[in-house]
Amino acid sequence: MTDYDAIVIGAGHNGLICAAYLARSGKRVLVLEASDSVGGLAATREFHPGFRTSVAHAISQFSAKIARDLDLSTHGYTPGEAMATVGLDEAGNHVILKGSTVSGVGPDDTAEFIAFRRMMQRYSDVLKPFSLKTIPHIGKNSFSDIATFAQMGLKLRLLGKEDMQELLRIMALPARDLMDEKFDSGLLKSLLSWDGLIGSKQAPRSPNHTVLSMLYRMIGDHGGDPAIPAGGIDSLISALAEAVMAAGAEIRTSTPVERIKIDGGEKGLSATGVVLADGKIITAEKIISAADPKRTFLDLVGVDNLEIGFTNRIQRLHSDGYVAKLHLALSGLPDFTGLESPDGRMIIAPELDVIEFAYDDAKYGGLPEHPVMEIVIPTLKNASLAPDGQHVLSAHVMYVPHDLKGGWTAAARDQLCERVIDTIARYAPGIRQQILHQELLTPYDIAQSYNVTGGHWHHVEFTLFQMMMMRPTYEAAQYTTPISGLYLASAGCHPGGGLMGGPGHNAAHEILK
């Protein structure tokens, strides 16, 4: 008899969600996490005495179904309210988006914005049902697989001819083309493109998946508006951890899995357990890796246990992160010129070309001359993250290469950090005097401290060739893998990253089939 029915590797939100579903259906589940706390990229940790924050700082698409299924409200999670997205302007003429309203732009842009948002919402509704579904592989399909394809086709048809044609036209369009044909305000164009670009190696002029990423963000409760729950990001993670434990599963932190134990028999290979750093083996019927796919296959499974073509497809997955984090411990609330309260999500990207040029710098391994970023003040939602009256500023900074030319030296880190703070100071002039401590995490740092290959937002780039039945690659896109008993459940699977829970939910569904 095995020690457990299932072992989940990695206690990111997807690992926790998968474990909770399995435990609730009566499985004996063990979750093993390498770092000293749960939550993965959404874990809240202290970065300066008394100051805490998390890498992922806002939620825009967490699945309400999962929250219901796992009773997260009884465990202390209440979805936050939609935040405004503020396009910062040095002179204080900000453009502000909230729901279907916009301020700070002319009447033409306002009218276009309302129409645009409605259109995008219709398209997003088409995609929505598939985020909590396994995308069937191509060929040899079961009835339910075919039903999924049929449902996709039907959803598209229901859009009506014009909408459907328009969706297909814009699907892989560069953000810039879409924005230029609709809007005048540079700041508005940046704001509306932002969610399609962040977390990926894409700029406004790149064709590929920007529009799909925008639509994907809009799947959430507030049509893409970000939110921070009342108790902060931590309230989601601790509710998930509680749900896991309440269902009878066990979570062990500071327990990195060294290797997945793979046994060979007449029928082929199967995963039968995990090997810990001290050599100890824990066995289980099913091993679910909620660590990223590259790490899972290349490090934990090992190429010896994989076929050659498959290995090379995994090796070639795009997985270099381009988002860095700046965390500031502040003595007071920063004052942004012309902004009543910094309680929204503030974006510094005055126009699309500023984003484009930042990308150009990073594309060749350099630091952006003019970094673009999204900022929130998490302490405004959850005061416990800092001592009384003091605050935390959290910024996602783009584009910062994982592989910096010349390497990530302390000097390079400092240079970027100063440049980012200088940029913020142009909008919040007094901020330097408020800084008690600053921390910059490059994608390289994130990869190291969070055990995520490339430090990538989505584990593997969310891009047309790594999407749906190709995510992370065929033969591993239905949460199963070529190795029997081994499953995937991380952001590297369909429907992708961000705090939404789709991969964990879908993986559990496949495992329990």
Partner 1 sequence: MTKSDPFAGERLKHSPFHPRQAALNLRNAWSSWNGTQFADYYYDAEYEYFCIRNSCATYDICPMQKYEISGTDAEAMLDRMVTRDVTKLKENRVTYVCWCTDAGRMVDDGTIFKLGPDRFMLTCGSPSLAWLRKCTYGYKHLTVTDISDTLAGLSFQGPTTCEVLKKMGLMDIETLKPFGIMHFPFGSGSLMVSRTGFTGDLGYELWVQTDLALALWDALYDAGEDYGIQPYGEAATNMARLEAGFIMPGMEFNEALKTVHFHHDQTPFELGLDWLVDFKKARFNGRSALLIERERGPEYTLIKLDIEGNKPAEGSYLYRNKRCTKQIGYVTSAMWSPVVKANIALAMVKTKHLGENIWAEIYYEKELRQNSKVAKCTLQKKPFWAPPRARATPPQPF
Q: Which is nearer to partner 1, 65 or 316 (CB)?
A: 316
32 is in the binding site of which of ligand FAD, partner 1, none (Cβ under 5 to 8 A by kind)? ligand FAD
Q: Which residue stretches of 4-133 are H helix?
A: 13-24, 64-69, 107-131
Q: Which is nearer to ligand FAD, 167 or 358 (CB)?
A: 358
Residue type, 6: A
Stretch of residues binding partner 1 (CB under 8 A), selected from 22-30, 133-141, 295-303, 431-439: 295-303
Q: Which is nearer to ligand FAD, 313 or 325 (CB)?
A: 325
Of the CA atoms within 13 Å of residue 310, those in its CB half-sphere come to 17
513 is in the binding site of which of ligand FAD, partner 1, none (Cβ under 5 to 8 A by kind)? none
139 is in the binding site of which of partner 1, ligand FAD, none (Cβ under 5 to 8 A by kind)? none
Rg of the chain, C-alpha, whole Å: 22
Q: Which is nearer to ligand FAD, 261 or 458 (CB)?
A: 458
Q: Which is nearer to ligand FAD, 211 or 376 (CB)?
A: 376
What distances in angstroms separate CA 482 from CA 69, 181, 437, 508, one per listed residue? 30, 46, 47, 17
Q: Tell how far CA 280 is from the center of its chain.
A: 32
DSSP three-state, residue 263: strand
- How far apart (Å, rounded) are the C-alpha atoms in residues 210 and 345? 20
55 is in the binding site of which of ligand FAD, partner 1, none (Cβ under 5 to 8 A by kind)? ligand FAD
Q: Which is nearer to partner 1, 75 or 313 (CB)?
A: 313
DSSP three-state, residue 324: strand
Stretch of residues binding partner 1 (CB under 8 A), selected from 176-184, 233-241, 260-268, 331-339: 260-268
3-state helix, strand and coil shares in percent for the chain, rounded to the nearest 5: 40, 20, 40
Spatial neighbors of 344 by CB under 8 A, at least 6 apart, are 83, 84, 85, 86, 96, 98, 376
57 is in the binding site of which of partner 1, ligand FAD, none (Cβ under 5 to 8 A by kind)? ligand FAD
- How far apart (Å, rounded) are the C-alpha atoms in residues 396 and 421? 12
Q: Tell how far CA 418 is from the center of its chain.
A: 26
DSSP three-state, residue 31: strand
Q: Tell how far CA 495 is from the center of its chain.
A: 11
295 is in the binding site of which of ligand FAD, partner 1, none (Cβ under 5 to 8 A by kind)? ligand FAD
- How far apart (Å, rounded) are the C-alpha atoms in residues 409 and 150? 52
- How far apart (Å, rounded) are the C-alpha atoms in residues 496 and 501? 9
The sign one gets for the Cα dihedral 70, 9, 132, 454 is: positive
Contact between 337 and partner 1 by CB under 8 A: the answer reads no
Which member of 41, 260, 269, 452 binds partner 1 (CB under 8 A)? Answer: 269
Contact between 266 and partner 1 by CB under 8 A: the answer reads yes
302 is in the binding site of which of ligand FAD, partner 1, none (Cβ under 5 to 8 A by kind)? partner 1
Residue with tokens 């002319």: 106
Which member of 140, 161, 267, 513 binds partner 1 (CB under 8 A)? Answer: 267
Q: Which is nearer to partner 1, 163 or 475 (CB)?
A: 475
| Cα first-last separation, the chain | 21
Q: Which is nearer to ligand FAD, 176 or 325 (CB)?
A: 325
Does residue 479 have a cis peptide bond before it, meaning omega lies within 30 degrees of 0? no
495 is in the binding site of which of partner 1, ligand FAD, none (Cβ under 5 to 8 A by kind)? none
**Residues lying near ligand FAD in the complex (CB under 6 A):** 9-15, 32-35, 40-42, 55-59, 256-257, 290-291, 295, 300, 321, 323, 325, 396, 446, 450-452, 455, 457-458, 490-491, 497-499
Which member of 26, 153, 248, 302 binds partner 1 (CB under 8 A)? Answer: 302
Contact between 367 and partner 1 by CB under 8 A: the answer reads no
Q: State in angstroms the smallest separation of the CB of 90 from partner 1.
A: 49
Which member of 132, 303, 380, 436 binds partner 1 (CB under 8 A)? Answer: 303
* Residues paired with 262 in a beta bridge: 271
Contact between 139 and partner 1 by CB under 8 A: the answer reads no
Contact between 474 and partner 1 by CB under 8 A: the answer reads no
- How far apart (Å, rounded) are the C-alpha atoms in residues 31 and 290? 10
Binding site for partner 1 (CB under 8 A): 263-269, 298, 302-305, 307-312, 315, 482
